[in-house]
Amino acid sequence: MQVAPSPSSTVPTPSDAARGVESVEDLTARLAATGYVGDDSLATTVWLALRMGRPLLLEGEPGTGKTSLAEAIATSLELPIVRLQCYEGIDATQALYDWDFPRQILHLRALEAAGGASAEEAEQGLYDERFLLARPVLAALQQAPAVLLVDEVDRADDEFEAFLLEVLSTYQVTIPELGTVTAAVPPVVVLTSNRTRDLHDALKRRCLYHWIDHPGLEREVQIVRSRAPEVAEALARQVVVAVQRLRDGAGLLKPPGVAETLDWARALQMLGTTDLDLESAARTVGALVKYREDADRVRTALDRMLAA
C-alpha cells in the first residue's frame, strides 16, 4: 500500500485481490450468489476492506456468521481460503512455518547411503523449500491472492497479536535460512473475535471494524431459505418468528444464533414437520438451545406462543 499525502484527493489503487469487484452492489450480488445474505452496511465494509487493502475485523455474538462470511468472500472472489484457528498458546511455529526435521534427517541418511555429496552440498540441500512446512500464514502468502481467515483471534495470547501485527503490516515473512517470502498480492485478511477479551488497540487500528448483529426477521427468513432450501417457506417463517421472540423475550442463558436457527429448521424438516407444533418443537429443542434451564424456558415460551 502506498502512503498518499492527501488521501481524499488521491483514489487508492484497488487491491489486486478485489479486482473485478466494481461496486458495493456488485459485491452484495456476488455474496448473495454464494448463499450469504448480509445487509448493505456489511457489504460496504467488506468492499472498503478489499479496496483499501486492509484486514477486516469481525466481531459479534457466536453463531452470527462471522466465519461463514470469510468463506463467502473467498467463494465470491474465487480465491482459496486459508484458515488459522487461534487457541491459547498458539505461537509462530504453528502459524508461520516449521522445518520438517524427520525428512531432513531422511535426506541426510539417503545422501550418506548414496555416498556422493560433499558436506557443503548436503548442508545446502537441507534448507530447501521442499523441507519447509508452510503453516497457514505462510501458505496464504505463497498462494496469494488468497483469503486468510484468522479465526477467534481473541483466544490467542497477547504475544501472538503482536506477531500478527507484524505480518499484517508488511505481508511478508522472513525465514533466516531461505530469505524473505513476500506475497505477490496481499491476501484478503479476515479476523474474527467473540470478544472474550478486548483486542489490543494497535491491532484494531490496522483493521476495518464490523459488528455483526443478529439479523432481523425478514433477513433471517432469507438466510434460512438460502442456506437450507429444503425447508419449506411456511415452516422457515414459523421457526424464525419463534427464534426471534425467544432471543428477545425469553431470558435465555445463551440466546440462539443463526447457526442454531438453521439447525433447528433442518431438524424439524427431517422429522417431516410441516407446521411448528409443541410436540415436534419439544423433540427438537436440543438443536436450538444447549442448556437444561434454557430448554425448560423454551418449552414454556413456545407453549404460550403457540397457544396464542
Partner 1 sequence: MTTSAPVRHPGEEVLLGFTRAVRAAGVAVTMDRAQGYLEAVALLDAGDPEGVRRAGHATLCGGPADLDRHDQVFDTWFDPRGELPRSRPREERPAPRLTEVPETDGDGGGDEMTDDVIRARASEAEVLRHRDVATLEPSEKARLEAMFATLRCRVPRRRTARHRAWHRGEVDAPATLRASLRRMGEPSEISWRRRGTKPRRVVLLLDVSGSMSGYADALLRVAHRFVSACPAGASYGVEVFTVGTRLTRVTRALAHADPERALVAAGESVPDWSGGTRLGESLQAFTDRWGAAGLARGAVVVIASDGWERGDVDLLAGQVARLQRLAHRVVWVNPHRGKAGYEPVQRGVQAVLPHVDDFLAGHSLATYAELVEVVARA
Of 34, 44, 94, 280, the one binding partner 1 (CB under 8 A) is 44
Among 26, 51, 222, 241, binds partner 1 (CB under 8 A): 51
- Smallest distance, partner 1 to C-beta of residue 213, A: 9
What is the H or E stretch that residue 174 is in? strand 172-175
What is the Cα–Cα distance from 172 to 180, expressed in whole angstroms?
A: 7
Of 54, 66, 135, 225, which one interacts with partner 1 (CB under 8 A)? Answer: 54
Please report how close the Cβ of residue 136 comes to partner 1 at its closest, in angstroms.
Answer: 20
Residues numbered 174 to 233 that lie near partner 1 (CB under 8 A) are 194-198, 200-201, 204-205, 208-211
Backbone angles phi, psi at 158, to 5 degrees: -55, -40
The piece of 30-38, 220-228, 235-243, 246-254 that touches partner 1 (CB under 8 A) is: 246-254
Of 153, 198, 138, 143, the closest CA to residue 55 belongs to 153
For residues 140 and 185, what is the distance between their CA atoms, to the nearest angstrom? 10
Q: Which secondary-structure segment (H or E) carries 58? A: strand 56-60
248-287 mask for partner 1 (x: CB under 8 A)? ---x-xx---------------------------------
CA distance readout (Å), 305 to 25, 117, 175, 252, 277: 38, 80, 61, 16, 10
Strands 179-182 and 172-175: antiparallel
- Output the smallest distance, CB 282 to partner 1, in A: 23
**Where along the sequence are the contacts to partner 1 (CB under 8 A)?**
4, 7-9, 11-12, 24, 40-41, 44-45, 48-49, 51-52, 54, 59, 88-89, 101-102, 105, 108, 154, 157-158, 194-198, 200-201, 204-205, 208-211, 251, 253-254
